[in-house]
Amino acid sequence: MFYKDIDFSKFSSIKIGQVERVLIVERGDTIPTDRFIVGGANNLLISPNPPPLMKLSKDFSYIEKDGDSLFIGASTLNGKLISFAKRYNIGGFEFMAKLPGTIGGMVAMNAGLKNYEIFNIIKRVKINNSWIEKEDIEYGYRFAKLRGVVTDIEFTIKRGFNYTLLDTLYALRNNQPKEPSAGSIFKNPKGDFAGRLIDEVGLKGYRKGGMEFSRVHANFLVNMGGGTFKDAKYLIELAKKRVYERFCINLVEEIKLL
């Protein structure tokens, strides 16, 4: 293990934060239980006073085929995996195209698009150095109770990369904003869409400081330049308040606030 100073105003996808001393965990290390793992910082909003942080080293960035199984390290970038799947004609990973971050981050929140979720294709996960079958993990829409840190994931290889599906999913992502963001701010309530609700209460395009509910997709909180944690937190709480007052629906954050 070693420490590294990371500037979250540059490293995080939403471009908010400050320089933090992050513990880098290497292969063979005992994984600490008193630190939050930041991964690629793609669905995180870092406060001025976050908890102690850690990150997996490049030891955990790999893709290996072994028979009918595909083993992937949690630090592997989603873009790298998509390229690998295309090269070796492996299906099931098409929904990850243009999705930023790492495979470990996707597992931690059971990320996906529409009906496609990462847990649909997982066989088992290594958590705190022990392999656990998917059936023994509690998971659902945008959550997974891992009770530890994911370091490696095993998938069963499915032959045939689906380019038609890839094009369809690309089209679905074309309505997402280009400005820095942490992805979807809120989970979609059952039977509804967070973006629609935010729009209905008049917050689409609403701005506080450098942060704005995107005019392209209201469930994206985008950094228009110089956005701060305080600005973002204000807008998140405002949306929750207005949506509850209007619809009696409690919006639940999809991003992690540290």
> Whole-angstrom Cα distance, residue 22 to residue 87?
34
Per the CB < 8 A criterion, the answer to whether 54 and 4 are in contact is no
Largest alpha-carbon pair distance within the chain? 55
Which residue numbers are catalytic? 142, 184, 254
Of 134, 158, 2, the C-alpha closest to 65 is 158
Per the CB < 8 A criterion, the answer to whether 147 and 127 are in contact is yes
Kindly report the number of other CB atoms within 10 A of residue 157's CB atom. 17
Per the CB < 8 A criterion, the answer to whether 118 and 91 are in contact is no
Per the CB < 8 A criterion, the answer to whether 106 and 121 are in contact is no
Main-chain phi, psi angles of 186, to 5 degrees: -120, 150
> Whole-angstrom Cα distance, residue 72 to residue 81?
9
Q: What's the CA dihedral at 91, 88, 131, 146 to 10 degrees? A: -50
